[in-house]
Structure 1
Amino acid sequence: MKAVAYELERVRSVNDAWSALARDEFYKAIAGGQSLGAMLNLRLAQPERLIDLDAIAELRASTVQGDELFLGAMTTHAAIEDGKVPDVTHGMLAHVAHGIAYRAVRNRGTVGGSLCHADPAADWVSAMAVIGATCDVVGPHGTRGVPAEQFVRSAFEPDLNPGEILAQVRVPRFSANARWSYRKHCRKTGEFALAIVTGVVDPDRGIERLVLGALDGPVTAHCGPDLYARLADPAARAALLDASESGLSYERRAWHGDLLASVVADLGAKQ
């Protein structure tokens, strides 16, 4: 099957991008195209016009300002994997990037494109939520910051209004004593995850955060300083899964349970 006929418009600034998208609800932005390209060929997406963001240099810029990394939405997974982006997470960003699909996909796929596609099984959806990142959205009504854990409203539904684009992701700097763990279950290498569990403990910032991914959207658990100590108890882990994954199959619950136990062990070992 081939894509339906569509027009392609290449824009060169963020303002041009949201202005073009605001002209018609059937216009759609294309970033890396690693997910949208397949959807076009299967005719799951049938836009009248694609707004190509590839030539917008400011969307590829990544700088550290104060205690935040300003990560351009068009930054590729490969750029993060290869260390071309400043590391403010003690290697977590590079680790997540390295595990995405295959190198050919990582060369073209982008952080912003992945988040806006809003596939719950995509790595950046869960990773940015557990990191506590903020998505800066630009559109006809200005700029607004959306916490990453709220950016994916539900499966394939990002928090983007007509005419808006994701310009950058603000990633907070981890303190020297921060610890992280990221684990996922795939049937084979390169596939989207069937289960994701990831956690961050940053005692200097008073943060303990856990995310269960590959669900309808990222499920985030915030707790006090005893979160991972309590989850060392298998019964506490089972209770968390019961509360977070009601209605899911036994197999998927088991995958999340195994990953949760591994994440708790990882973070305990790093203390």
Structure 2
Amino acid sequence: MKPAPFTYSRPADWPAAVALLGGGARPMAGGQSIGPMLNLRMAQPEGVIDLRHLPDARGVTVSGGRCRIAAGTTHAAIEDGAVPGRLGAILAGVARRIAYRPVRNRGTVGGSLAHADPAADWVAVLPAFPGDAVAVGPAGERRIPLASFVTGLLSSALRPDELLRAIELPVLPEGTRWGHWKFCRKPGEFSKATACVLAVPGEAPRAVLAALDEPPMLIPDATALIAAPEEEASRIVAALPGLDPWRAALARTALRRAVRMAGEDA
């Protein structure tokens, strides 16, 4: 099947891209989500706004203890070390398990987050970091906490007249421990349950449970989970309504294994 007719726009700068959002146009970064949706006619926008060629659309900068990752930075670039230090090592480990290398070569961290599929890797793990999504609209930039960016299935806190421009995360000390576990029925498939644990020295550990067809669940203080993973994972999952038994079992396993991996991380 071929897409329904649409106009193609390649804006020269961010204000021009924002101005094109009215009238039913959809933004496109790597095209790994919207491309298949267009071909299947699951999406039939009036136009497509190509963001790949905008100034500062991709790349990483570090300043003042914060790492700014441009939304158009590809999974492959992160996998290959575009983000420095301990934070970069953690993100590279996440990136290299996203689908396949050809997908990672084009798919972008911002496109994945803005698409807001609850099972997507960046949607599942970024809330573990006390960082922000940087949106840009007619009034300029606006910061949205990553913990509340995804609001539902394929929906986010972005306003209709905003684009996701960057993600800002804290630079992490070398002693930071990380555990990340996800279950996929076959390589390259979206996860059926994902959990991660971030333990920064001197701070309360954070955990996320995700990929359960709902927005990611942030546990801002995972001390109890780390101390008693079996009991606490069961308590957390039992409070989630409507999970099939097999999905609940996967969720408990994801939490326990993420805790174990964080404990083994050195």
Q: If the length of structure 2 is used for normalisation, what is the TM-score?
A: 0.95
Find the aligned partners of 1:36 and 1:224 in 2 and give their Cα distance.
36
- Contact preservation (8 Å) 1:69, 1:88: no
Equivalent in the alignment of 1:253: 248
- Contact preservation (8 Å) 1:88, 1:172: no
Count residues with an aligned counterpart: 265
- Contact preservation (8 Å) 2:225, 2:232: no
Find the aligned partners of 2:124 and 2:130 in 1 and give their Cα distance.
10
The 3-state SS of whatever aligns with 2:167 is: strand
Equivalent in the alignment of 1:127: 125
1:265 CA drift (Å): 1.3
Poorly superposed stretches of 4+, deviation over 3 Å: 224-227
What aligned pairs does 1:190-209 form with structure 2 within 5 A after superposition? 190-204=188-202, 206-209=203-206
Residues 20 and 68 of structure 1, relative CA distance in 2, 3 Å threshold: same
- Contact preservation (8 Å) 2:177, 2:263: no
Picking from 211, 215, 218, the partner of 1:217 is 215
Q: After alignment, is 113-122 or 138-147 more displaced?
A: 138-147
Equivalent in the alignment of 1:160: 158
User: What is the one-letter code of the residue matched to 2:146?
Assistant: A
1:142 CA drift (Å): 2.2
What do residues 40-78 of structure 1 show as CA deviations (whole Å, max 9, x unaligned)?
A: 111111100111001113121310012111000000000
Find the aligned partners of 1:166 and 1:109 in 2 and give their Cα distance.
15
Q: Which runs of 5+ in 2 are unaligned?
A: none
Matched, 1:241 2:237: yes
- Contact preservation (8 Å) 1:71, 1:169: yes
1:90 CA drift (Å): 5.5
Find the aligned partners of 1:72 and 1:131 in 2 and give their Cα distance.
16
User: What is the one-letter code of the residue matched to 1:131?
Assistant: F
Equivalent in the alignment of 1:19: 19
1:236 CA drift (Å): 2.1
Find the aligned partners of 1:195 and 1:227 in 2 and give their Cα distance.
17
- Contact preservation (8 Å) 2:7, 2:46: yes
The 3-state SS of whatever aligns with 2:20 is: helix
User: What is the one-letter code of the residue matched to 2:161?
Assistant: G
1:86 CA drift (Å): 2.5
Equivalent in the alignment of 1:174: 172
Picking from 256, 260, 267, the partner of 2:262 is 267
Calculate percent identity across the aligned residue pairs: 40
Find the aligned partners of 2:57 and 2:145 in 1 and give their Cα distance.
19
- Contact preservation (8 Å) 1:12, 1:53: no
1:149 CA drift (Å): 1.6
The 3-state SS of whatever aligns with 2:173 is: coil
The 3-state SS of whatever aligns with 2:57 is: helix
Q: If the length of structure 1 is used for normalisation, what is the TM-score?
A: 0.94
User: What is the one-letter code of the residue matched to 1:9?
Assistant: S
Matched, 1:36 2:34: yes
Q: Which runs of 5+ in 1 are unaligned?
A: none
- Contact preservation (8 Å) 2:86, 2:174: no
Equivalent in the alignment of 2:2: 2
Over aligned residue pairs, what C-alpha RMSD do you find? 1.4
